[in-house]
Each structure stands twice: as C-alpha cells, then as structure tokens.
C-alpha cells in the first residue's frame, strides 16, 4: 500500500487518518488536570524539535527518508496546522540553535530559556530512536515528576497502539545527567521526550 509522506508524519504521533478534532483531543489528553493554565482560556503546548540543522540526529529509511531533525520539524509544523482552528489550544514550535561543536548543553539551555519564557502548560520534545532493530517505543520523563510521567504514559499509549507494539515499550525516568535528561531538567513545565519508533526496525518504518 502506498501512503503519502504527510500520512506517515501524521501517523507517528496520532493516526493515518488524522483530523483537527483528533489532534486536539490527543493534545488535551496530555494536559494534566492539576496543572494551572498558563494563559486564561488557552492551553499552551510547546513542541521542541530535537537536534539541530547541523547535527540532525538519527536517519530513517523506508517510507520516511529523513533525519530526526527534518522529520520532526515537519511533524511539529503539521501539529500546528491541525490545531490552528481550535481556540483552546495554542502550539508554538521551538528549534535549537547550533552554537558550535561540543555545545550540546548550551544549546539545550538556550532553547529551554525561550520555552520557559513562553510559559507553556506542557511540552513535548520530538525525537525517534535508533536501537539496532530492538523495535521498542520509548518515552522519557523527568524522574520524580508526576506530571511529566503522566505525559509520557499517555504518549506511550498512543504510539504503541498505533504501531501495534504494545509489549515492547518502555517508560524511561531521567535525571539531569542522563541521556536526554538535560531537556527534561531545564524545562519548567511538565515535559515528555518522545521516541515513538525505532528507525532501525522494519516493522516500524516499512
């Protein structure tokens, strides 16, 4: 079956037949009830595109043929497009700035300074994995944060249901110095770092 690039991008975080109403329902499901709205009447959701335009992360073949940075940039823009007519949800996309070699931590601090200034209700940092064919879906949350774990649990459910890989999933608690932990540490809002598929898994990218 031939599918379009847009269907692939949409499928990764929602479903192949995504609509604005489905997108909004998914985003609302991520909003913890105990979190106070950052703007009255509007749910602000920050989407952070993983990696940068120089160091673009992993690469996936199959139907996608994109690096993490390019792929997730398209996903982020699609999410904005899907919810643009919903008056209760506002999405803002943030991209890391390349600050030079071995400046990873500085890049993380810089982008989350901008995220925190915008003061979103929740945040999602978009990635995908390269696990040597392990075919595992992973969601990272900040260790000890109930709201961050809540986001990760919901995101893991959506992704595993989509890929029919519910058995091979993992919630990964992270601290500041763990892989991926810097983003979770520096974000003041509840956040999930998403790894919704394994780019080396044929079942995920065929």
pLDDT tens track for 71-125: 888 888 888 877 777 777 788 999 999 998 889 899 999 999 999 999 998 899 9
d(CA 32, CA 18): 23
133 — pLDDT class (breaks 50, 70, 90):
low
Instruction: Please give the mean pLDDT across all residues of the chain.
Output: 78
- Identify which has the larger pLDDT, 93 or 2: 93
181 — pLDDT class (breaks 50, 70, 90):
very high
Of 33-37, 40-44, 96-100, 132-136, where does mean pLDDT reach its minimum? 33-37
Helical packing angle, 68-83 and 20-29, nearest 10°: 100
- pLDDT on residue 97: 92
d(CA 3, CA 64): 10
Q: Is the pTM of this model over 0.95?
A: no
Q: Using one digit for the tens of pLDDT, what is the confidence trace for 145-166?
A: 999 998 899 888 877 766 654 5
Comparing CA positions, the residue from 88, 94, 83 lying closest to residue 117 is: 94
63 — pLDDT class (breaks 50, 70, 90):
low
35 — pLDDT class (breaks 50, 70, 90):
very low
Helix (H) or strand (E) holding 21: helix 20-29
Which two tokens mark 188? 């003041």
Residues 6+ apart with CB under 8 A from 191: 122, 123, 124, 125, 141, 142, 148, 151, 183, 184
Q: What percent of the chain has pLDDT over 90?
A: 33
Q: Using one digit for the tens of pLDDT, what is the confidence trace for 43-53?
A: 888 999 999 99
Rg of the chain taking only CA atoms, in angstroms: 16
Helix (H) or strand (E) holding 146: helix 146-163
E strands, the chain, in order: 43-49, 59-60, 66-67, 89-95, 122-126, 137-142, 169-174, 191-195
- pLDDT on residue 20: 53
Quick one: DSSP state of residue 31?
A: S
Q: What percent of the chain has pLDDT over 70?
A: 71
């Amino acid at each position: 079956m031939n599918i379009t690039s847009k269907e692939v991008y949409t499928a990764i975080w929602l479903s192949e037949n995504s609509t604005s109403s489905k997108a909004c329902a998914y985003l609302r499901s991520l909003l913890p009830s105990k979190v106070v709205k950052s703007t009255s009447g509007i749910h602000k959701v920050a989407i952070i595109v993983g990696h940068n335009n120089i160091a673009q992360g992993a690469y996936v073949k199959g139907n996608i043929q994109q690096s993490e940075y390019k792929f997730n940039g398209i996903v982020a823009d699609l999410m904005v497009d899907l919810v643009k007519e919903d008056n209760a949800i506002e999405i803002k996309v943030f991209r890391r700035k390349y600050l030079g070699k071995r400046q990873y931590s500085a890049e993380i601090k810089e982008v989350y300074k901008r995220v925190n200034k915008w003061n979103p209700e929740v945040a999602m940092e978009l990635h995908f994995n390269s696990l040597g064919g392990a075919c595992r879906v992973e969601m990272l949350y900040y260790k000890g944060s109930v709201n961050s774990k809540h986001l990760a649990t919901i995101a893991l459910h959506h992704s595993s249901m989509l890929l029919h890989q519910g058995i091979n999933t993992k919630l990964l608690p992270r601290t500041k110095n763990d892989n991926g932990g810097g983003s979770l540490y520096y974000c003041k809002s509840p956040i999930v770092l998403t790894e919704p598929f394994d780019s080396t898994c044929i079942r995920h990218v065929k």
